[in-house]
Amino acid sequence: MISLAPLMVALALGQSDPYVRSRVDAGDTRTQCLFWTSTTLTWNQSTYGNPDTPGETEFEAMRSSFQSWQDIFAQCGNLTLVEGPRVDERDVGYKREGDNLNLVLFRDRDCNAVVPATDACWEEETCANEYDCWEDDDNTIAITLTTYDERSGIIYDSDISFNAGRFAFTTADGGPCFPPVTTNCVATDVQNTATHEIGHFIGLDHTRAQGSTMNPSAPPGEVSKRSIDTGSRDFVCAVYPRGRESQACLHPEIDEDLGPKGSTGCAATGSAAVLPALAAWVLGLARRRREEGSR
């Protein structure tokens, strides 16, 4: 049984630190931080891309977002982010058997429009993969789903999905615009959104610090998150120090036989009363889902 419980712990506390690390339980310093121990992380874009974005500009925007983080890792970090070949894979989430990809894709169909209300996938939260559709809240811009070991905090897999059925993603420069006008202007910027999501991909949570890439506010036309702020840069240098092991928050005795015990994710959400905002999701082993952020 899946239980859904919105939590706003970190943001309710008014966190404004330069950076905040993602934890097994958001905002709970008694729980482990999430981090990669691999030296090389390969990520793959779905060949489907986003049909509503001109040419292949969505692929280039995504590449630019990852490159912005890679530039920091090259300066002071111990990870290398590598783009793998485009793939036809459309399923997100960790597979206990078989190969796992760190997948980036756009979903341009609403599950509410293509999935019968009686389908068991709603309760199991598997409609997105079964029907290749957007299963989460309509006001969610993007989600990063990360599978981790809840005791050690070590990340095993991370996937980023964009809600292309509800949001008009753009890759151009210019002033803010709203559908149906999306030419030579910025509606929901791919690179702006992706750069934030990649922050969650590597273990960052939200902060209310003004100007932070990880600030959850994301108004239409925003492109400021294309550039990574100093606080987020400091996170890379401190948590993934060059020439050293990636840094955990807690140091329990690690059982080498431990496997993936949970998942964390990120979303971008909006509210009728506020500008669209970026939020985070966490799933536990029993598929207990937690939302962190504002709507």
Q: Degrees (nearest 5) of the Cα angle 201, 202, 206?
A: 75
Domain ranges of the chain: 4-261+270-292
Lowest-confidence region among 1-15, 17-31, 50-64, 234-248: 1-15
Pull the structure tokens for residue 55: 């040419």
Rounded Cα gap, residues 273 and 193, in angstroms: 21
Per-chain mean pLDDT for the chain: 84
Instruction: Answer yes or no: is pLDDT of 273 > 70.
Output: no
- The residue among 76 and 275 whose pLDDT is bigger is 76
Calculate mean pLDDT across residues 151-162.
95
Calculate mean pLDDT across residues 232-256.
87
237: nearest Cα among 77, 51, 65, 78: 77
Taken in order 21, 156, 36, 31, the sign of the CA dihedral is: positive
Rounded Cα gap, residues 196 and 65, in angstroms: 9
pTM as predicted: 0.85
CATH superfamily membership of 4-261+270-292: Collagenase (Catalytic Domain) (3.40.390.10)
Distance of CA 77 to the CA centre of its chain: 20
**How far is residue 265 from each of residues 52, 181, 271, measured CA to CA in Å?**
25, 31, 19
Q: What's the confidence (pLDDT) of residue 260?
A: 54
Tell me: the pLDDT tens digits for 65-82? 999 999 999 999 999 999
